[in-house]
Amino acid sequence: MSGSTLGWTTESRGGARIVAPAGRVDEATATEFTERLREAAAAGGGTLVLDLAGIAYMSSRGLRALTLAQRKGSEAGTTIVLARPNPTMREILAISRYDMVFKVAETIEDALA
Amino acid sequence: MLVRFWGTRGSLPVAAKANAVRNKIAAALVAASGRTFADEGAAREFLESELDFAAAHTYGGATSCVEVDVGQGPFIVCDMGSGLRELGLDSLRRCTQEGHAREWHFFLSHLHWDHIMGFPFFVPAFVPGSKIVIHSGHADAEEALRRQQEEISFPVPFDYLRAEIEFRTLEPGREYEIGAVTVSLIEQHHSHSSYGFRFRDAAGKVAIYSTDSEHKIDRMEGEADVVAFFADADLVVCDTMYSLADSVSMKEDWGHSSNIVAVDLCHEARARRLALFHHEPTYSDADIARMHHETIRYEELTRGAVALEVLCAYDGLCVEV
Q: Average the pLDDT over B23-44 and give the result.
A: 96
Mean pLDDT of all residues in B185-200: 97
DSSP secondary-structure letter at B119? Answer: G
State the average pLDDT for chain B: 97
Fold designation for B2-14+58-320: Metallo-beta-lactamase; Chain A (3.60.15)
CA distance B302 to B299: 5
Residue in chain A lying closest to B269 (CA): A27
Q: What would the pLDDT profile of B88-100 be if each residue is shown by its tens digit?
A: 999 999 999 999 9
Q: B275 forms bridges with which residues in the sheet?
A: B237, B311
Dihedral sign of CA atoms A59, A61, A63, A65 in order: negative
Domain boundaries, chain A: 7-112
pLDDT band at B305 (very low <50, low <70, confident <90, very high): confident
CATH domain A7-112 topology? Transcription Regulator spoIIAA (3.30.750)
Q: From CA B70, how far away is CA B205, in angstroms rounded?
A: 9
Q: What are the residues whose beta carbons fall under 8 Å from the beta carbon of A112, sequence distance 6 or more?
A: A13, A14, A16, A47, A49
Q: In A, which residues are within 8 Å of B218 by CB distance?
A: 68
Interface of A with B (CB under 8 A): 26-27, 30-31, 34, 57, 59-61, 63-64, 67-68, 88, 91-92, 95-98, 100-101
pLDDT for res A27? 82
For chain B, which residues make up each domain, given as ranges? 2-14+58-320, 18-56
- Across B136-144, average pLDDT: 98
Give pLDDT, residue A14. 84
Of B212 and A2, more confident: B212
pLDDT for res A1: 40
Model confidence at B318, in pLDDT bands (50, 70, 90)? very high
The predicted pLDDT at position B219 comes to 84
Find out whether B207 and B321 touch, Cβ atoms under 8 Å.
yes
pLDDT at A4: 63
Residue B159: burial class (beta carbons within 10 Å; 0-12, 13-18, 19+): exposed
Q: Does pLDDT of B304 surpass 90?
A: no
Work out the burial of residue B102: count CB atoms within 10 Å of its CB; fewer than 13 is exposed, 13-18 middle, 19 or more buried.
buried
Reported ipTM: 0.92
User: CA B181, B182, B188, B191 torsion: positive or negative?
Assistant: positive
Average pLDDT over residues B266-281: 97
Cα B319 from Cα B77, distance rounded (Å): 15
Question: Residue B124 pLDDT > 70, yes or no?
Answer: yes
Mean per-residue pLDDT pooled into runs of 10, chain A (113 residues): 74 93 89 93 92 94 94 94 97 96 96 91
* Minimal Cβ distance to B297: which of A60, A95, A98: A95
pLDDT (0 to 100) of residue A22: 94
Write out pLDDT tens, residues B62-85: 999 999 999 999 999 999 999 999
